[in-house]
Amino acid sequence: MENQYDIVVIGSGPGGYVSAIRAAQLGYRVAIVEKYNTLGGTCTNVGCIPAKALLDSSEHYHQAKDQFHAHGIQVDNIALDFTQFIRRKSEVVQQNTSGLVYLMKKNKIDVHTGVGSFVDKTHLKVTGTDKTTVLTSRYFVIATGSKPSSIPGVTIDKQRIITSTEGLSLAARPASMVIIGGGVIGVEMASVYARIGTEVTIIEYTDSLIPTMDKELGKALQKTLSKLHIRVLLNSKVQSAANTGTSASVQFLDAAGQTQQLTADYCMVAVGRKAYTEGLNLSAVGITPEKNGKIKVDAQLQTSVPNIYAIGDVIDGPMLAHKAEEEGTFVAEVIHGLKPHIKYDFIPSVVYTWPEVAAAGATEEQLKAQGVTYKVGKFPYLASARARASMDTDGFVKVLVSPQYGEVLGVHIIGPRAADVIAQCVVSMEYEITAGELAHLCYAHPTYSEALKDAYLVATGQGAINI
């Protein structure tokens, strides 16, 4: 019957659309509700995909301008067409959102455009611009994601005090930008703009960039970002930011506790994101978000209401697209009575700077805090023939291995194509392949992934063998 479903998914980000597709594959009648006119959520529209498109374009420009000559390639009059730079990004987004429309049709998933709000445990009202519909469903999956957060003293006005969302669609290349926060968004957006000639300063509260990752990665990343002339101010606390009309003015306490002021074309706020549940009318079903705004779920990702599940950025855990996707599949399979599992410890983290940063498993800091003994195997890309060939010698592979069984406890990489190399590390941890076994696999030569073999050889006491 019309508007009667087995499963209604609220939110069409990577959590929501994957959940809807998996549920449809399992034979359920499924609808997806999205308040915006395009599908794909943060990731596809204003997150992963547009950010990667601009990262790629800016890296091409930077290479053509500053590195081609070393390869013997002379290119004159290199210039950036900023309008085309942004337009290509929008085209990439559009290709992906159209792909999702196709996938919804292919899987016979009904798309309802409008804000979904609960009427009761089996009914959801969808308020669109020109009509209101009420959907009936046996199950609901809340996948409403997150929005940027700010800090006291800083009001995002989307004009001069902006977030990554505005930063992905600026009208002209800024001459200068201050970024508050040296986390993932901070360093990725800093890379985009510094590569195309914007004077970028990152103000970070803690003592390192990407502070939740292994400390050595943050240090190495800072070194490589300094080659792009990105200024990094650590141990610095932003107190306020103001739109002066023609610029943004940021006041902060520096590492010595002195008040400082910076002025730039834009101030981008990248201090984390908060779960988004506005408009859902959760009180109608008796769900109260936690203090940090997230929805509490159990090990089955079930909320306090048995037929309502929640996934992705709106619940606890890393705010990552692939984590949301895994949870999307998980919930559909749980509803179907299957027994899926997610190994949260091995969800990889990737930062798309150049070189890229990627990690899975425990950091050295975590192992120390837990009193776990470990051996370190490290191999620098400076010693890799593949990296020398492409002039990508910054960075290293670091593996952390249990001395007793050779179990891989963590892998931390900063280097070329680290985002792709990390996949093997996830496999090895998930299936408990030992460092000794990994050291004796045959890796193609010369490759970036070969550096892993040497790191495992070092960790198992033999010593590196390749160049």
Of residues 112 through 171, those in contact with ligand FAD by CB under 6 A are: 115-116, 143-146, 164
Would you give the binding string for ligand FAD spanning residues 288-327, x where CB under 6 A is met? Answer: ------------------------xx-----xxxx-x---
The residue among 143 and 411 lying less far from ligand FAD, judged by its C-beta, is 143
The residue among 137 and 460 lying less far from ligand FAD, judged by its C-beta, is 137
What distances in angstroms separate CA 329 from CA 22, 25, 175, 367, one per listed residue?
Answer: 6, 10, 44, 31
324 binds ligand NAD (CB under 6 A): no
Closest chain position to ligand NAD (CB): 183
From the list 60, 69, 229, 445, the catalytic residue is 445
Residue 218 binds what, of ligand NAD, ligand FAD, none (CB under 5 to 8 Å, by partner type)?
A: none
Of residues 231 through 270, those in contact with ligand NAD by CB under 6 A are: 237-238, 270
Would you give the binding string for ligand FAD spanning residues 367-406, x where CB under 6 A is met? Answer: ----------------------------------------
Q: CB 312 → ligand NAD: shortest distance, Å?
A: 12
Of residues 30 through 49, those in contact with ligand FAD by CB under 6 A are: 33-36, 41-43, 47-48
Q: Which of 7, 10, 196, 400 binds ligand FAD (CB under 6 A)?
A: 10
The residue among 354 and 374 lying less far from ligand FAD, judged by its C-beta, is 354
Q: What is the 3-state secondary structure (H, E, C) of the chain?
A: CCCEEEEEEECCCHHHHHHHHHHHHCCCCEEEEECCCCCCHHHHHHCHHHHHHHHHHHHHHHHHHHCHHHHCCCCCCCCCCHHHHHHHHHHHHHHHHHHHHHHHHHCCCEEEECEEEEEECCEEEEECCCCEEEEEEEEEEECCCEEECCCCCECCCCCCEECHHHHCCCCCCCCEEEEECCCHHHHHHHHHHHHCCCEEEEECCCCCCCCCCCHHHHHHHHHHHHCCCCEEECCCEEEEEEECCCCEEEEEECCCCCEEEEEECEEEECCCEEECCCCCCHHHHCCCCCCCCCCCCCCCCECCCCCEEECHHHCCCCCCHHHHHHHHHHHHHHHCCCCCCCCHHHCCEEECCCCEEEEEECCHHHHHHHCCCCEEEEEEHHHCHHHHHHCCCCCEEEEEECCCCCCEEEEEEEECCHHHHHHHHHHHHHCCCCHHHHHCCCCCCCCCCHHHHHHHHHHCCCCCCCC
Contact (Cβ atoms closer than 8 angstroms) between residue 245 and residue 161: no
The residue among 41 and 416 lying less far from ligand FAD, judged by its C-beta, is 41
Residue 14 binds what, of ligand NAD, ligand FAD, none (CB under 5 to 8 Å, by partner type)?
A: ligand FAD
Q: CB 147 → ligand FAD: shortest distance, Å?
A: 8
318 binds ligand NAD (CB under 6 A): yes
Of residues 82 through 141, those in contact with ligand NAD by CB under 6 A are: none
Q: Which residue has the tokens 């950010």?
A: 51
Phi-psi region of 293 (alpha: psi -120 to 50; beta: other; left: phi over 0): left
186 binds ligand NAD (CB under 6 A): yes
Nearest to 185 by CA among 329, 35, 54: 54
Q: Which of 141, 185, 238, 335 binds ligand FAD (CB under 6 A)?
A: 185
Q: Which of 30, 54, 320, 413 binds ligand NAD (CB under 6 A)?
A: 320
- Could you give the CA distance from residue 356 to residue 188 in angstroms, rounded to a whole number? 10
180 binds ligand NAD (CB under 6 A): yes
The residue among 135 and 459 lying less far from ligand FAD, judged by its C-beta, is 135
How many Cα atoms occupy the beta-carbon half-sphere of 314 within 13 Å? Answer: 32
Q: Which of 185, 221, 250, 297 binds ligand NAD (CB under 6 A)?
A: 185
- Could you give the CA distance from residue 317 to residue 28 in angstroms, rounded to a whole number? 28
Residue 12 binds what, of ligand NAD, ligand FAD, none (CB under 5 to 8 Å, by partner type)?
A: ligand FAD
**445 included as an active-site residue:** yes
184 binds ligand NAD (CB under 6 A): yes
The residue among 7 and 203 lying less far from ligand NAD, judged by its C-beta, is 203
Q: CB 366 → ligand NAD: shortest distance, Å?
A: 17
Q: Which of 17, 28, 193, 352 binds ligand NAD (CB under 6 A)?
A: 352
Kindly list the catalytic residues.
445
Contacting residues toward ligand FAD, per CB under 6 A: 10-16, 33-36, 41-43, 47-48, 51, 115-116, 143-146, 164, 185, 276, 279-280, 312-313, 319-322, 324, 352
Contacting residues toward ligand NAD, per CB under 6 A: 151, 180-186, 188, 203-206, 211, 237-238, 270-273, 318-320, 350-352
